[in-house]
Amino acid sequence: MKKAIYWFRKNLRVSDNPSLKDAIEQNDEVICIYVRDYSTYSPNGLDIGEMGIFRRKFLDESISNLQENLKSFGLKLNIFEGDIVKIFEEVRSKFNSDKVYGSKEVGWYEQDEEKRLASNKFDLILYDDQFLIETDKLPYTIGDLPLVFTHFRKKVEKLVQIRDEVKISNKKFEIKNYNFEYETSNESGGIEINKNSNFPFVGGETSALKRLDSYLWRDNRIKKYKETRNGLIGTEYSSKFSSFLSLGCISPVTIYHEIKRYEKKIIKNSSTYWLIFEILWREFFRYVYLKGGKNIFLKDGINGNIFNKNFKNDLDLFNKWKDGHTGQDFIDANMIELNKTGFMSNRGRQNVASYLVNDLDLNWTWGASYFEKHLIDYDVASNWCNWMYISGVGNNVKNWVFNPVRQSDMYDKSGNYREIWLNKKIGQQNIEF
């Protein structure tokens, strides 16, 4: 009898999940496990603590939804907390298999987990489930990956064919219950969503597929994505796919093919192209992570501090930034949005990151870890590489400095966005002299 452990990581879905498909189809008995960990990274001099409530809520909901969706295969999701090796040792001894299927992840902790399991003689069969372009299809070796996104994009657009989606054949196992010492339960609910939240979505695969359907087919928002994507208010200015992608509630391959179907049936325009273009940024940063490794968490990043920024550690100033008390309306409104909802627009993220680095002269890794704690869509590569980029230590050919006064005049001319989060009337105080 062939037995395998299926290890869910950042691929909390059953649809288009190649490693899950193979685990189910190639084995007679499968046990599904998920190791939950709410901890987040604190750089030197800062105690960030556990993940914020909105990020945690979304994770718990995604786990619950996966538990439900696995039932149709007769599979139970066993949730654990604790040391990864001890957990796997317990599963191995009770289930009697050391064959482990799962997704290959980027990130220091994630890769460390893989190394520790491999050195404890688990047979890891890991797939590139979370990539749009699997590693072996990349037209570069990781070492040769270019620093500049445009070079990467052009070559990828020309040479790479995205794989087809996969579907698991009908198979039903018999649910088996084990008594595991490290097993824990999953609870979701109890956290109220702010009425002004731009991200009021529930976590999980079911919600992800519903969002994909509404953003493309039901409401045709994708048609105008390029014009609306710099918006600040509401659910519809951008796709809001990032949180679902960060936990793998949906695969980038599913999104890609759905956009291609939309282009064939409804319209192919610069907006449909641009959404794929942005998803390629996500992909690029995953590879930048694989190339840069743990340097992406260091103050000098992958490229060195070529613009000679200060990056000082000043806790009082940092606290003003994080609490939305800098006195700069646009920056404060964005930080308050993040604190109250777990979300911030791309425009907002660029501005608050630039402000932290260029106006407050602070250590960018502190800002990145604050984002890691709170962002519902936190993704190790996208977060840390974007922060590196804005801080001038990443994939830079240019020193990015955003002027929040000019930016708010361009993107929040009416002041409505700032009024929502600052709860005050916005007058003329942002006019630059």
Ligand X SMILES: Cc1cc2nc3c(=O)[nH]c(=O)nc-3n(C[C@H](O)[C@H](O)[C@H](O)COP(=O)(O)OP(=O)(O)OC[C@H]3O[C@@H](n4cnc5c(N)ncnc54)[C@H](O)[C@@H]3O)c2cc1C
Please give the residue ranges that form the binding site for ligand X (CB under 6 A). 229, 238-242, 245-246, 275, 278-279, 281-282, 285, 345-346, 349-350, 353, 371, 375, 377-379, 382-383, 386-387, 390
Nearest-approach distance from CB 421 to ligand X, in angstroms: 17
Q: Which sign, positive or negative, has the C-alpha torsion 372, 378, 381, 384?
A: negative
Nearest-approach distance from CB 107 to ligand X, in angstroms: 11
Q: Single out the residue of 416, 96, 105, 67 nearest to residue 286, CA to CA.
A: 105
Q: Regarding beta strands 77-80 and 99-103, do their DSSP bridges make them parallel or antiparallel, or are they unpaired?
A: unpaired
Q: How far apart are CA 379 and CA 315, in angstroms?
A: 25
- Nearer Cβ to ligand X (23/375): 375
* SS3 (DSSP) at 77: strand
- Nearer Cβ to ligand X (33/138): 138
Nearest-approach distance from CB 266 to ligand X, in angstroms: 18
* SS3 (DSSP) at 103: strand
Q: Single out the residue of 425, 431, 427, 426 nearest to residue 409, CA to CA.
A: 431
- Nearer Cβ to ligand X (78/383): 383
The token pair at 50 is: 């556990």
The token pair at 214 is: 């509404």
- Nearer Cβ to ligand X (99/240): 240
Nearest-approach distance from CB 257 to ligand X, in angstroms: 15
Nearest-approach distance from CB 280 to ligand X, in angstroms: 8
The token pair at 188 is: 């979701």
Nearest-approach distance from CB 346 to ligand X, in angstroms: 3
Q: At what angle are helices 346-354 and 364-374 packed, to 10 degrees?
A: 150
Cβ neighbours, 10 Å, residue 289:
24
